[in-house]
Amino acid sequence: MPAAAFGTTADGRSVSRHTLSRGRLRVVVIDYGAAVTAIEVPDRAGHPANVVLGLETLAGYETVSPSFGATVGRYANRIAGGRFSLDGHTYRLPVNEPPNTLHGGPENFGKRLWRAELSDAARVVLSRRSPDGEEGFPGNLDVRVSYSLPEDGVLRIDYAAVTDRPTVLNLTNHSYFNLAGEGAGSVLGHVVQVEADTFAPTDATQIPTGALLPVAGTPFDFRTPRALEARIRAGDPQLAYAKGYDHTFALRGPAGTLRPAASCVDPGSGRRLDVWTTQPALQLYSGNNLDGRLIGPSRRIYRSGDGVCFETQAFPDAPNRPSFPSAVLRPGETFAAATEFRFSVV
């Protein structure tokens, strides 16, 4: 389907909407933020519904969106104190979640206009150059994200990037899923499984301590399917810091290989999501900061727990945590990662 107009940015630039369709799966992506604005899949009775949260207008994505569906970077998740050191030089970043930098700063990739290199019925490729010094990060970074539908029920995201100076990089898609349908209310009844034996505990500002702790015997044990609501109110300081789940899990298996990361089922509709990725970690976020101020396309407000994110990524604050796998990208190297969202019914 040809690209269609989605709106004009506050500074007068046109933004397009790209609709991908294959079989029973329909996906909408916009140039702004390289963001997914809709994923439409059927329930067990065959009735389709959009299963990601979003906003009606481009102005909403520019001004109030909590990264709905966006490609965030240069560094997804948090960097402690808005600073990191690389090759003996300290880089300072804008602090947008005091005292830390979140998702690369207030003008991160999710707040930028991308260029469509290719757009057809089953694939859109978006790219941009992040200039040296953007949001404090070193190096000119050429980044590309591809959304494709390789088969019915599968949305695949491929990332690629190169740099002309050593830099740090962490890219993810920040879709908020509600498998009952956008605007359907709480997702805390969704049943989740995460392919991880350890998770990264944080301090009170949600910066990882650098340790990886066993999930066994904790509210973070999703090794077998469990409803989000089962332990989200457990008296665990980790849950109190984040107001719910907002934690990194170390995925089983070698990074760089496409492997299962998580699954999620809505018992009511029967919709199932399986997440596969080549990334080393997964951030499970239960939409804790949705506070009733945002209204979705359904014309219903979004409240805490109305969406769940499965952010496949590198480890947060890895530039400051030598115990975590490196997130450094150097000239001559190519960053490559892939994530698949696979939809079915049970």
Distance CA 168, CA 299 (A): 39
Q: Which of left, alpha, beta for 211 (phi over 0: left; psi -120 to 50: alpha)? A: beta
67 Cβ neighbours under 8 A, 6+ residues apart: 33, 103, 110, 174
User: For the chain, give me the number of helices (H) and strands (E)?
Assistant: 2, 29
Which of these is catalytic: 103, 134, 135, 174? 174
DSSP state at residue 24:
T
Radius of gyration of the chain (CA): 19
DSSP state at residue 75:
B
Q: Report the candidate in 45, 14, 339 with the shortest Cα–Cα distance to residue 181.
A: 45
Position 173, amino acid: N
- The DSSP H or E segment spanning 16 is strand 14-22
Distance CA 275, CA 175 (A): 12
Q: Report the candidate in 14, 12, 13, 31 with the shortest Cα–Cα distance to residue 116.
A: 31
DSSP state at residue 254:
-
Specify whether 174 is catalytic. Answer: yes
Which of these is catalytic: 40, 134, 182, 311? 311
Distance CA 294, CA 54 (A): 9
- For residue 1, give the 3-state DSSP assignment: coil
- Across 123-140, b (16+ Cβ under 10 Å) vs e yields bbbbbbebeeebbbbbbe
- The DSSP H or E segment spanning 311 is strand 309-313
Specify whether 311 is catalytic. Answer: yes
| Contact (Cβ atoms closer than 8 angstroms) between residue 342 and residue 273 | yes
Catalytically active residues, by annotation:
174, 311
